[in-house]
Every structure is written in C-alpha cells, then in structure tokens.
Chains A and B, each alone.
Chain A
C-alpha cells in the first residue's frame, strides 16, 4: 500500500514536470557540500579514567533546485505569478573512526549507531502564486512553526483568500527514521525503535503515521498585526493489535496560535501559545516585547513557558509532570554602524523546584568581510555552573581568501551526581584554540578548513579538524 502511494506520487511529479514543457528556459541550481570532520571525544575508560575516542564523520549534501518549470506565457506581468519549481536536498552521513570500532552487532546492536545513512531531507514540486492565489508543495517537505519542526511526505496548499487572509491545509505521512531514505531528525521524541523490552512496543515505530493539519493566517508581513492559528494531528494504526487494544492511537495533536503586532517601527510584541490536545494542556507559551529605544538600541523582554511533551506512544507524557518558566532580557546597543554590543540575562524557574540563571556580555566589530567578536558568560543554578570567555575574529586577506581564529576558555562544574568528591569528572577547565581559512577557489567553489585543539583538566590535547568543500552552481 505504501509503495503504491509512493509510486503514485513519483508518477504525479514526473507527469507534472514533463507536462510543464516546453518552458522558455529552466533555471537550475546545484549545490554540493562535502563536510569532513575528525575529532576526539572524551570517554570513560575501563579503569575509571578518561580516554579519547576518535570520531570521523563524512557528510555529503546534494541540493538540486529547478525553477521556471512552467511555460513563460503562464507568468503574470509581475513575473511572480504561476511559478513552478522543484527543490530537493539529499544527505549522506557516515561515521568512522575508533568511535565505531568494536561496536556491538547482531542482537546487541545499538540501534542509534547506524554507521551510514542516506536521507532525502526534502524533495518537492512547488507552486507559487498560482492563479494569483495559491501556493502548493507536493512531495517530502520540512516545515517549522510554533507547532514544531516537522517533516512529512504529502501535499500542502495555501490559498490567499484575500490580501490579508489565507487558509492552509496539508496532509501526508510523517517522515520517520525507520523508513527508507528518511532522517529521524524531526520525528517525535520519546519512543525508541532500539528498545528491547516488549512492553515498550518498539514495533510501533515502524508503522506509517498519517498526518493532517491546517492553518489560517491573517495579516501581512508589513502590516501592523499578523496572526496564525495552526492545527496538526498525527496518528497511527496499532502494530500487532491484540484483543482489547485500540486499533489506532494519536501520536501528536496540537493547536498553536502565534501573533505579531508592531507599533510605529518602535515597539513590537510577538508571542504564541500551543495547546497540546494529547494531554489537554498548554505546553508552550511565549511572549516577547521588543522596543527600539533609539535608532540603534533595542531592549527585549521575554517570557516563556515550556512543558516537555513527547510522542503519544511515550510513557514520558505521564512522567513529565514538571515544566519551566523563563524570564529573559536583552539589551543591544549599536555604537556607530560597525560595533554592536549586548547584555543578556535569564532566569529559569522549574515548577517542581529549583532555579537556574545567568547572563552574558559581548561586543562585535564588523568591517567589510572581517569581524572581531568577544563574549563572556556566566550561568549557575540547577544543572551546574559555567563561566567562560570566547574571542573570535575573521579577516579578509585577499578578495578570495579569509583567515579566522577563535580562543575559548571556560570552567564548569556539573551537579550531575551532586557530589564532586565522588565524581571528579564533573568539574573542569578547558582552553581551546581554533585557526582556519576560507578560500574562494573559483566561481561558486569554496573551501573551508579549520583546526581546533583543546587542553583541559582531563587531557593535554584533543584535536578537531574540519574541511568543507562547497560547490554552488547555477545553470
């Protein structure tokens, strides 16, 4: 059934693309990015001491976008009507090095440690301003709003009913790591397909999860008021259903409202609230007030409330009784066009008990392609303490060459065990240095090299190397 649906989708994409010919000219953009990383991770050795484990990763992104699929005679006078395009991103990620050596296999395999993975992050046919009213996407897509980040295979359509009112609807199936060519990065958290206890019903993770949702949007980007009310529901049939068990269950159901109001280019109020219909309570609330006190001065005051919630199949929805509430303030001052400074503070109140808080100060000086940045921070309370400084810089040497560097130092003390004497691994000092360069090797071809070495309480050297080759081509 699933493969039939996918075939139908592929056929639809193929027919639509083929049917769009002849176009005046297609615009292609091809992006290739190869990221190689080698670094060392601290691990607890058999004798209780620390040892460094080498980790090597190779990640390849392949992006393809094709624009102007529709014939040019379809386009309106403004050139922005009836735009059809295809956009796709593939990622191959592989893990090597000592980190992966000797990993358990067979029945002891660690499910979360897949060595290589090829994912289609998104691949969809899109339409913009079709008939002057409709935007649509068909295929694998990623979205983000107050409901959450989420990825699904299916279709979405946004209809601009009036200039300041739009209605959106979408449906499909959730993208899950258990499916082929699918990344788990945006699936709901709380259940693990690697669980071996039959009571956790790990087989439920492989079930297809239909998804449906929609939104209404009022206002425009430049108007004084804008609001969006969105709804999403994800459900799944029960795997290996037994007598007395429900034939399906809801994995996620949320209603979210976000709003933004502006006043005379000086005051802005933004906020949102998300009601979790799975649990019958609000699990995310935000209210932010931002004031421009002078031309280059901003004051931001923010209140946030967040209650951890999980996949509807996770027992942690029952255990997660607590939440936290934050108060944050940021003051940003631009001194002339090149220098920006800030002071930032927050305090977090846990509803169960306990607090955490801290602050940071920093300044950035930018000129041309170069910058110099310095930051200092301090946090304490539940979780532990950390105090640190960070200085970074980038300098354009020639038109196609930049050098960069960073110095970092921090001290931390985690309260993981609540007993530093028992757990000396819970506190330490780290100093790190980075140096690297960025070369523009040719039109659309860039190379970024970075080396980092850290020295700290637990080791005299931990190296990290990064190499990124990026190719962007437009045809």
Chain B
C-alpha cells in the first residue's frame, strides 16, 4: 500500500512537473519588441531552399537595409523570376515542375484559407502584409558587411515550411552571442531605442504592441544577468541586483530609486494598508530592511515622538506624557516589560535577563534607535559616574578586539562620549 502511494505520488509529481515544464519551457520574443503583424502568405522556406533558393536571392533589400523598420519581405517582382505570375490570369496553370502562378498558391485570407479574386466572399485585392515598426535598432547592411551569415541569426529559417513571423525572429540571447563586449559592442543602446537622455526607452505601448499582448513597460527578462529579471518578487528582492547603479540607470532615472528609497509615498508592494499598525513586527526583526529607505534618527524618531511612542522626555508631546501608556516614565503602563532596564523598584538591573533590553539591542539595535537617541544609553552606560550607573556595554576583552582598535584609531571622539580624556581604558589593551 505504501509502495503504491509512493508510486502514485511520484507519478503525480512527474506528470505535474512535465506539464509545468511544457507550459513554461518555451519563450517567444517580446511583443513589445516585435509587435503584432499580419503576413497573409503561404510560403514554404524549406521547399524553396531545397530547390536552391538563397536568402539574399529573394530578400534582396536585406543586404542594404539599415533600419529594423524596413520591410524585407520579398515583393511580387522577386517571385516572378521563378513564378510566371499573370495578374490577368489568377488561376493560371503551369507545367509540372514549374513554379505555381495561381494567386491562391501564395495568398491566404485572414482565416488562413487560400485566396482567389472573385471567390465567394473574397476581397477584390489580396490581404496585405502589415508589419508594425519593431521597437529596436538593427542594421542588416552592417552585419552583412561583416560577413555574418543570415543563418547565424535566422537559424532554421531555411527548414521552415511556413513564413518566418515575429515569433521566429532572433531573441536577445542570440544577439549576445556576438555582442559580448569583445566581438561587438555590449552597449544596450546599440540595439534598444533610447530616450533623449540616453536611457533605454521602456514605454513602448502602442496599438500594435497591445494587439500583440504586450504587458506594460519593457523590463529585463533575465537573459543578460539573471538577477535582473523583473519577476513578481523583484521589488522586494532586488537588493543584490540593485548594487550596481550603472546597470540600473540604463533604464531608470535616479528618481525612480528615490521614490521608494527616501520617498514620501508608501509603496503598496512593500507595505500593506495601515502599515503603521503592522510595522512594529517588521521593524523588530528588520524584515524588510528598514534602513534601505528610512533613516531612524529622523524618519522613525520624528513620527514616534509625535504619536506618543518616542522616548524623548523634552521633545515628547507636552501634556500627554504623564498618562502616555507608551511613555517610559510615570504613565499608567510602560512600553517595555518589567525588568527591561529597571527592576520593580525602579533600580537599574545589574544582570541581563531574558526579557531585558540587552538581548533586543544585540538582535537589532536599529529598532532601539527608532525611538531612542544616544542619551538614552548614556544614562546608564557612560563611564562618567556623575551621570548615573556606569554599566559597561563592552563585552569581556573588548580592549583586545579589532573593533576597539579600529574604532579608536579612526574616531576617538566616539570613545569620549562615555570616557574622560586621558582615561586609561582608552588604550585598547
């Protein structure tokens, strides 16, 4: 029974995995780059290749094209060299072995049915090829001049039994095969459209792109760096990807960063509705990292003091402090539990306990700094006996640590906030 269950689970997992792989296993070019098109032509590339046709033999203008927007689909004149078309004879018959000359040999209607003039319900003119301007720069002439074969980018086109459409066009990974910064430039703007300031153009929505199912601005697919893929968790998880500004600024303005990192509007993908109620949970464990966007000593302290959570006896809200349940003094309740800093009698605790402040400070002192200024700590931890208790915050052997030596060597001012000038303990021995 157990074996059967195991086999069933394995089979189900394999089926689900296979289905998932099938559903996610292929990608096509972005409709933002190659928008919707209409190519109402029946064409067998493979057959023509077998008969000796070459790419440049039909796509003559490709050799001289300098813009991606150029229509490189051969016109009727190019076909006529083999297909003896006569527009006055739409159903013209040709000898066996010769290229077909009937209209419906090549033309199809919107439904994919063969098109003949005068046919039932058929338009007078054959359906036209409609190509939308690609949102890309491409110079065929330049590539041809470098001796780059058509097949390098349009691999397998000559084996295709249908016209090459937008879904068959090369994707970025193909371009990067040469555009690696060594063989050819790796500048994004070499291929992508740019704004006047040199950033890549990411707002490419148009009637054509929407018709092709494009979904908003152009974003990295991950083909280039992987970590830049703008997936559903990217906003929350871009700390590693965002470490290199030059790359981000390829598309973004600096203000895009400032909007969240130092901004004034709550980003809904990070903070849900009424985040003020919830934020204490996140702030204590620092997930997400508060300091990535907020400076505790201005943003957090300012709001906490105003809402009665702050610990500043002078700056706190006058007239409310006596009854402030979250004040640290004489209120009906205190914010921190008993034994946090003082015992039930109000005397400072001398030995850290599980619920005392030392552990919280060690876990995430930024949470402390969101309400307290340095003077809160100096009240009990200064070496100056005139201030009060002189509990040392340094662990045993601090004087011998690298932290002591480095800090004392680079900024002794911080030591002098607690210690007297010339005090023997300032030597880090």
Contacts and interface: CB of A to CB of B under 8 A. Distances in A.
Given A27-B196, A191-B374, A348-B287, A385 B186 contact: no
Nearest to B27: A295
Contact of A322 (B179, B299, B325, B363): B363
B413 A204 contact: yes
B56 interface: no
Contacts of A228: 244
A220 B181 contact: yes
B308 A43 contact: yes
Contact of A199 (B242, B253, B325, B387): B387
B355 A418 contact: yes
A111 B227 contact: no
Interface residues of A, number: 192
Interface string A405-423: 0101010111111110011
B98 interface: no
A249 B287 contact: no
Given A312-B410, A366-B216, A417-B336, A122 B296 contact: no
A258 B198 contact: no
B384 interface: yes
B365 A320 contact: yes
A268 B374 contact: no
Contacts of B318: 102, 104, 108
Interface in A153-171: 163-164
Sort chain B's interface into a size bin: 35 or more
Interface in B185-228: 186-189, 196-198, 205, 210, 213-216, 222-227
B168 interface: no
Given A294-B24, A317-B414, A418-B355, A454 B273 contact: yes
A393 interface: no
A362 B216 CA distance: 19
Given A112-B305, A308-B364, A474-B196, A432 B274 contact: yes
Given A183-B262, A223-B181, A432 B407 contact: no
B411 A249 contact: yes
Contacts of A379: 281, 287
Q: Which of B176, B274, B289, B309 has the most CB of A within 10 A?
A: B274
Interface stretch (B88-96, B118-126, B398-406): B398-406
Contact of A44 (B326, B355, B405, B422): B326
A315 B417 contact: yes
Q: Do most interface residues of chain B lie in helix, strand or loop, or is the interface mixed?
A: loop
Nearest to B257: A144
Contacts of B50: none
Given A279-B407, A281-B402, A383-B282, A335 B261 contact: no
Nearest to B394: A318
Interface in A377-414: 379, 381-386, 388, 390, 392, 406, 408, 410, 412-414
A231 B414 CA distance: 22
Interface string A438-475: 00000000000000101010100010101010000010
Contacts of B418: 199, 315
B114 interface: no
Given A246-B413, A406-B268, A432-B273, A110 B23 contact: no
Given A89-B254, A381-B285, A428-B277, A37 B265 contact: yes
Given A41-B303, A220-B180, 13 more contacts: A110-B315, A145-B244, A164-B182, A186-B262, A200-B375, A280-B407, A286-B239, A290-B229, A332-B232, A335-B20, A354-B359, A390-B272, A433-B273
28 contacts: A63-B253, A67-B196, A67-B198, A80-B198, A83-B198, A102-B318, A222-B180, A223-B180, A245-B412, A249-B414, A250-B411, A251-B411, A267-B226, A268-B226, A270-B226, A295-B25, A295-B27, A304-B239, A308-B365, A316-B377, A319-B377, A321-B395, A322-B361, A330-B233, A353-B359, A385-B281, A410-B278, A430-B273
Interface of B: 20-21, 23-28, 173, 176, 179-182, 186-189, 196-198, 205, 210, 213-216, 222-227, 229, 231-233, 237, 239-245, 247, 250, 253-255, 257-258, 261-262, 264-265, 268, 272-274, 276-278, 280-287, 289, 291-292, 295-299, 301-303, 305-309, 312, 314-315, 317-320, 323-326, 332-333, 335-337, 355, 359, 361-366, 369, 373-375, 377-378, 381-382, 384, 387, 393-395, 401-403, 405-407, 410-414, 416-418, 421-422
A-B pairs, 4 with minimum CB distance: A432-B273, A268-B226, A112-B302, A220-B181
